[in-house]
Amino acid sequence: MRSATECMHRALLSIWLAVLFFLLPSEAYRDVSDGTLKALPRPGKDFDIHDGAILSPILIPRVPGTPGSTKVLNHFTDFFRTSLPKWNVEFQNSTYVTPVSDGKEVPFVNFIAYRDPPNAAKGDVGRLTLVAHYDSKYEPKGFIGAIDSAAPCAMIMHAMRSIDDALTRKWESMAPDDDFLDDHIGIQVLFLDGEEAFKYWTDSDSLYGARSLAQHWDSEVNPGMSVYKTPLSSISLFVLLDLLGSKDPIIHSFYSTTHWAYQKLANVERRLRELKVFKSSGKTWFPDSSKNERQLSGGSGNLGDDHVPFLKRGVEILHVIDYSPDRPSGFPTVWHEMQGVKDDGEHLDTDTVEDWSLLIAGFAAEWMELEGFMPGSKTEMKRNKTEL
């Protein structure tokens, strides 16, 4: 039991902090320091395409409903259970008849992992959501899909492992009854199934997993009085990584409402390059970073990808895809390629793949406000809110 004055005192404190939060948005989104960026761990051996613990198990054919798909799912589950045991792991399943399944239902399994701050009710947490598809193309037989999207899955796994201890330290430093707004920021990983078409890309032959999950999360409701009505609205930003792992990627900004997040990502990339943390040389990956919202060329809804069912339901999207209208297919040369320079582990640009995982870690560390808790941070553990 607390005294009435103490309750009043805390209520006033909360109001004051809420006001402060809105007056000082920069406080709520603090850049990570150079020290933090320099100390980000490189994946190194874990991204070896032959026997690397994170990447190599994904570089197999993983067509929905086949043993390869199950193996990769098990790899994700094992990784989170052993390396990230504080995360919750869930699956969301569906079945569809496909153009090649002879009228039979094919199972699709979306992998979901999330970690929320300790004191927040489930429906009150907005989650930074990092997304890639893990299935590979049905045809041609033996297709690997390294940039599409084995490597993006690996990048996300490594990035989450790089910030996990800092999340723990940040959340342990909070007083048990702390109720600050920024304590309601969670993080979530989606590895989606069935992105690829089995035959020809159509609305019904593609995005199987994404369509099912978006629909499911739109219809499910969070407990009454929750800040977010549905699991779908709990997605604060849907960051979709696709076709990443070739050298010199070109990432455009497609949405004016998330251009600020694109610029944050581009800013972390510029700093990692300037600090010589990046191994891949070359120019910036984010050509739209100095444009303003009105100078963007338009949405990526016409690029059929896993964001579409979420975009249609009003989710904020940051589509991180290597795409340029100046290229023949728009996509990297290895895209859906089975001859010669094909989309397999051998044709990944290792430095670029590793650099991507550092960039995602740096971006996520900023979003989750982990400065002070990351290795190399300028100020270690300065934060003790009860002293405010």
Ligand X SMILES: *[C@@H]1O[C@H](CO)[C@@H](O)[C@H](O)[C@H]1NC(C)=O
| Nearest-approach distance from CB 173 to ligand X, in angstroms | 5
353 and 346 Cβ atoms separated by less than 8 Å: no
Interface residue with Zn ion, options 46, 116, 124, 148 (CB under 5 A): 148
Residue 148 binding target from ligand X, Zn ion, none, CB below 5 to 8 Å by type: Zn ion
Residue 343 binding target from ligand X, Zn ion, none, CB below 5 to 8 Å by type: none
Candidates 7-15, 106-114, 141-149, 337-345: pick the segment binding Zn ion (CB under 5 A): 141-149
Closer to Zn ion by Cβ: residue 286 or 335: 335
Contact between 384 and ligand X per CB under 6 A? yes
Closer to ligand X by Cβ: residue 79 or 255: 79
60 and 72 Cβ atoms separated by less than 8 Å: yes
241 and 320 Cβ atoms separated by less than 8 Å: yes
Strands 105-115 and 317-321: unpaired
Residue 22 binding target from ligand X, Zn ion, none, CB below 5 to 8 Å by type: none
Applying the rule CB under 6 A, the residues between 84 and 103 that interact with ligand X are 91, 93
CA distances from 23 to 126, 264, 363 (A): 20, 20, 23
Contact between 74 and ligand X per CB under 6 A? no
Nearest to 114 by CA among 261, 234, 222, 265: 234
Nearest to 386 by CA among 32, 52, 6: 6
Return the residue nearest Zn ion (CB atom). Answer: 148
Closer to ligand X by Cβ: residue 91 or 260: 91
| Nearest-approach distance from CB 14 to ligand X, in angstroms | 18
Nearest to 109 by CA among 67, 138, 151, 149: 67
| Nearest-approach distance from CB 213 to ligand X, in angstroms | 12
Of the candidates 135, 242, 322, 355, the residue annotated as catalytic is 242
Closer to ligand X by Cβ: residue 120 or 364: 120
Terminal alpha carbon distance of the chain:
22
Residue 93 binding target from ligand X, Zn ion, none, CB below 5 to 8 Å by type: ligand X
Candidates 78-86, 269-277, 359-367, 379-387: pick the segment binding ligand X (CB under 6 A): 379-387
Nearest to 252 by CA among 197, 325, 328, 192: 325
The C-alpha atoms of residue 366 and residue 373 are separated, in whole angstroms, by 11
Residue 109 binding target from ligand X, Zn ion, none, CB below 5 to 8 Å by type: ligand X
| Nearest-approach distance from CB 308 to ligand X, in angstroms | 23
| Nearest-approach distance from CB 384 to ligand X, in angstroms | 4
Closer to ligand X by Cβ: residue 102 or 387: 387
Buried b (16+ CB within 10 A) or exposed e, 200-222: eeeeebbbbbbbbbbebbbeeeb
Q: Residue 44 contacts by C-beta under 8 Å, 6 or more apart in sequence?
A: 354
Mark whether 242 is an active-site residue. Answer: yes
Closer to ligand X by Cβ: residue 112 or 265: 112
Residue 203 binding target from Zn ion, ligand X, none, CB below 5 to 8 Å by type: none
Lay out the site mask for ligand X across 134-173 (x = CB under 6 A, - = otherwise): ---------------------------------------x
- Specify the residue for token string 């020809």: 200
Applying the rule CB under 6 A, the residues between 173 and 202 that interact with ligand X are 173
Interface residue with ligand X, options 49, 59, 63, 109 (CB under 6 A): 109
Of the candidates 195, 306, 322, 354, the residue annotated as catalytic is 195
Contact between 305 and Zn ion per CB under 5 A? no
Closer to ligand X by Cβ: residue 212 or 222: 212
Residues near Zn ion (CB under 5 A): 148
Could you give the residue numbers annotated as active site? Answer: 195, 242
Residues that bind ligand X (CB under 6 A): 91, 93, 109, 173, 384, 386-387
